Amino acid sequence: MSNVSSSSIELLPAPVLAASSAMIAIAVVCVLVRFLRGPGAPDRIVAVDLLASLVMAGLILSGLAGNDPYALQIVLGFAVILFLGTVALSRHLDRSGP
């Protein structure tokens, strides 16, 4: 049997974490530009939805880097709330018309 604890196992190498974080940061900037320039409400809703998805990706990376066992559960709860909010906003836009 090995004496290696699960907290000492490196799940994500540092270069992979840095590259992934940089890609998420670039995507966040692009999404914010789309949100600010979006001509209509549907464009902005999609931008907010994508921004929240990028936040979830950042939380997953943070959980992997810090060996946080609850990060995935938090992200799953956040995803359910995000889905319900997007559906509610879409229904509201559909009922209010163009």
The amino acid at residue 88 is: A
| pLDDT band (50, 70, 90) for residue 8 | very low
Sorted by where each begins, the domain ranges of the chain are: 13-96
Output the pLDDT for position 4: 47
Instruction: State pLDDT tens for residues 17-69.
Output: 899 999 999 999 999 999 999 888 888 888 999 999 999 999 999 888 888 88
pTM of the entire predicted model: 0.78
Query: For residues 14 and 22, is the Cβ–Cβ distance under 8 A?
Result: no
**For residue 1, is pLDDT > 70?**
no
**For residue 3, is pLDDT > 90?**
no
